[in-house]
Amino acid sequence: MSGTSGQPGRYQRSSNGLIVSIVVLVVGVLAFVLIRGALRDTPDAGVDISPVDYGPVAVQARKAGLVAPAPAPLPKGWKASSVRFTPPDPATSGVTGSWHLGLLTDKQRYVAVEETSDDVTDLLPDTVADATRGPAVRLDGRTWRSWTGAKDAYALTTAVTGGRQVLVGSPAGESVVRGVAADLSLPSQQ
């Protein structure tokens, strides 16, 4: 700081000093990251996600009037990583609850299975970024709308009972999504 006499302060500021400060800061951050990585128990291991038992939650959702679609059994090496059921609100007419089942493939790729009474396109950004509607797809006598997104992201959506929608989507690609959709036990399409 400069005094009242117009004299410069104790610390001289220069562009060289700024550059040295930035270099010291970057070296410190890199050292921290390297030391933290060296002290980990499993430095290169991915996060191990424990499987969840979605069966009891699916039963509860179905008792409440939802379809609660889920492949049974899961393909070999796959596991359910998350399940959510939001019960219907008794203050509204009809079934308005929602269902979510998150799956991990044997190659650790995520697949989402959703059921909602909301506009299904609201769910697309979470599963297929920048989704573009594709052609209709027929799987086991049911018509699905296809959606493609960045890289291999792909989703299928279909209407089920009560004006509800089911979405199956994944960044793992079309064949994975079609396989899951074909394995779902859904009510007959009218």
Each residue's pLDDT expressed in tens, for the chain with a length of 190 residues: 555 555 655 666 777 777 877 777 877 777 777 676 655 544 444 567 788 999 999 999 999 889 999 998 899 999 999 999 998 877 766 557 899 999 999 999 999 999 998 888 888 888 888 889 999 999 988 999 999 998 889 999 999 987 889 999 999 999 999 999 999 988 877 5
Give the pLDDT of residue 5.
58
8 A C-beta contact, residue 174 and residue 154: yes
**Nearest of 97, 90, 130, 110 to residue 180 by alpha carbon:** 110
CATH number of 55-183: 3.40.1000
Give the pLDDT of residue 178.
96
Give the pLDDT of residue 29.
76
The domain ranges of the chain are 55-183
Model pTM score: 0.72
Give the pLDDT of residue 45.
47
Give the pLDDT of residue 9.
59
Peptide bond into 88 cis (omega under 30): no
Question: Please, how many CA atoms are within 13 Å of residue 175, restricted to the half-sphere of its CB?
Answer: 1
Q: What count of other Cβ atoms lies within 10 Å of the Cβ of residue 49?
A: 13
